[in-house]
Structure 1
Amino acid sequence: MTDPQGRFDAPPPARERMFNAPLTVVLIALSMPVLFFFQQRLPDGGAGMAFAPADLAEGRWGTLFTVMLLHGGWAHAIMNAIAALAFGAPVARLFGDRIGPTVFLLFYVACGALAALGYGLVHWGSTQPMVGASGAVFGLIGAATRLMGGQGRVLPLTDRRVLSASLAWMAVNVVVGLIGYAPGVQGARIAWEAHAVGFVVGILAIGPLARLFGKGPESPGAAQV
């Protein structure tokens, strides 16, 4: 388009969306407070779906998955929802739009189930129940740790940024676990071991998954995360 003097008018700059998280991530984040709303209305408050390490010896493996549907309070559910939204977005973008949502969902569930399994092995035989999607969320945090600053590439495990961020996350996790305090978990023991296992699963699995389903480290035209 030109003006009367024949000069070209530059097109107006495109507005960047303020909120552009992938739909799968948004749905997972929204599901946490929604499910907690219904959890409060169950006769047992969801206790039958909680995970206890003793479940492993008794063959109740389903609780490795149902534990992710429960939370210990509104603050607990909302904090996990915010973290899932923040750290899940770059991971979901890495996998793309075609089979990406399925890969992302399976990755999220696997991180949560393995986190609960790790916690169960550490506390073998305990009947103390555990609830929450924090293990799955820490899997997203672990994966995102290798994406931050990588311009769409998965950074090597030995990258200085990955190592420093990992140490910081684990230090905070252990300190919070030892202190035994976090918002939304009043009076409950913090399952920091599950957080740690979820983080390790996420940070290790994101590399192979990116090579199989995403924009691998060698892809120069990868979109920025």
Structure 2
Amino acid sequence: MSVVEAIRLPATVDMGEFVSLLRRLNVPFRVSEESGEQVLWVPSAQLAEQVRMLYERYPQGDPEFTVQAEPLRRGPGFVQQLKLSRMTAAVLLVTFVVAAVTLLGTSADTLRWFTFQDFRLVGEDRVMFLALSETLAAGEWWRMFTPMLIHFGWLHLAMNAMWYWELGRRIEYRQGPWMLLGLSLGFGLISNVVQYGVSGASLFGGLSGVLYGLLGHCWIFQRMAPTPAYSLPRGVVAMMLIWLLVCLSGVIDLLGFGSIANGAHVGGLVAGCLSGFIGGLLARRSARAA
């Protein structure tokens, strides 16, 4: 039977409790020693990924952990993924609700409550924005964050939701749900402010600024303190950076596909790289101290 490497750790790391947890869950595995490292092997790549995620959350074999072995052997079903990614799912649920009430950005009456600046329609096609200072003076501070929930069209929503699900649950697995929420709100705030600084009064929105933040966070964190949860598929970072450069070139606008919030993308990416550097540095120091 072929086996797949799930975890490789220094021989000095005590895996005893985690191995006991795997035995209680009836997960098939074996451990070998290679060049001063201990390697945990499992029968399939899918199971290897789940074991890595399990170790990220329960390296000491949490005795209160009650997930059954069968889902691990088969790979997580959709319901189990939702249970392990509650915050990721909650952010997406709020995003879908906003998409519904704004009719994907086509209902001005509801859309104006989520935009960075309040606005009024003048005639059929002219938009008049209220000054940001007036908006904030009125206590409408939520507008600093809510543009991240606005989407214009099904494709815009579907692509952003797919990438948030992919990146968000990795951070939730590795650093917990509240860290994911904090990073999402922080990247949303920064990307919105940067976009406003670049474009001025305008309609913009979407999770893409947050996504570039999450991408930068995982990318730099992984380089500082490697972890299976942040090991992105090959080519993902390169593809996203190439897409960013294409958007910055203005080609998308020239082709008539609509305006791209480049300021939000760049602002989110820079903020994400910074948070990933800090988080990875702290994780590295913590590992050395242990």
Fold equivalence (TM over 0.5): yes
Which residue in 1 is equivalent to 2:112? 47
Q: Supply the AA of the counterpart residue of 1:78.
A: A
Write the distance in 2 (CA, Å) between the matches of 1:153 and 1:17: 15
Structure 2 CA distance for partners of 1:22 and 1:55, relative to 1, 3 Å: farther
Contact 1:143 1:202 in 2 (8 A): yes
Structure 2, gaps ≥5 residues long? 1-25, 29-68, 118-128
Which residue in 2 is equivalent to 1:158? none
Residue among 241, 246, 267 paired with 1:170: 241
Write the distance in 1 (CA, Å) between the matches of 2:266 and 2:216: 9
Deviation at 1:152, TM superposition (A): 4.6
Q: Supply the AA of the counterpart residue of 2:284.
A: P
Structure 2 CA distance for partners of 1:93 and 1:217, relative to 1, 3 Å: farther
Matches within 5 A, 1:1-225: 13=28, 14=69, 15=73, 16-18=75-77, 20=81, 22-40=85-103, 44-51=109-116, 55-60=131-136, 61-95=141-175, 100-123=176-199, 126-147=200-221, 150-152=226-228, 169-177=240-248, 178-180=250-252, 188-209=258-279, 216-218=283-285
> TM-score of the superposition, structure 2-length normalised?
0.55
1:31-72 deviation line (CA, Å, top 9, x unaligned): 322321122295624134212597545453542212122111
Q: State which drifts further: 127-136 or 168-177.
A: 168-177
SS at match of 2:109: coil
Structure 2 CA distance for partners of 1:206 and 1:28, relative to 1, 3 Å: same
Q: Supply the AA of the counterpart residue of 1:87.
A: L
Structure 2 CA distance for partners of 1:104 and 1:112, relative to 1, 3 Å: same
SS at match of 1:72: coil
> TM-score of the superposition, structure 1-length normalised?
0.69
Contact 2:89 2:165 in 1 (8 A): yes
1:185-214 deviation line (CA, Å, top 9, x unaligned): x853110121111011011113334566xx
Structure 2 CA distance for partners of 1:74 and 1:113, relative to 1, 3 Å: same
Q: State which drifts further: 47-56 or 27-36.
A: 47-56
Q: Which has the larger radius of gyration?
A: 2
The structure with higher relative contact order (CA 8 Å, sep 6+) is: 1
SS at match of 2:194: helix
Which residue in 2 is equivalent to 1:5? none
Higher helix share: 2
Structure 2 CA distance for partners of 1:208 and 1:152, relative to 1, 3 Å: farther
Two-structure CA RMSD over aligned residues (Å)? 3.4
Structure 1, gaps ≥5 residues long? 1-10, 156-160
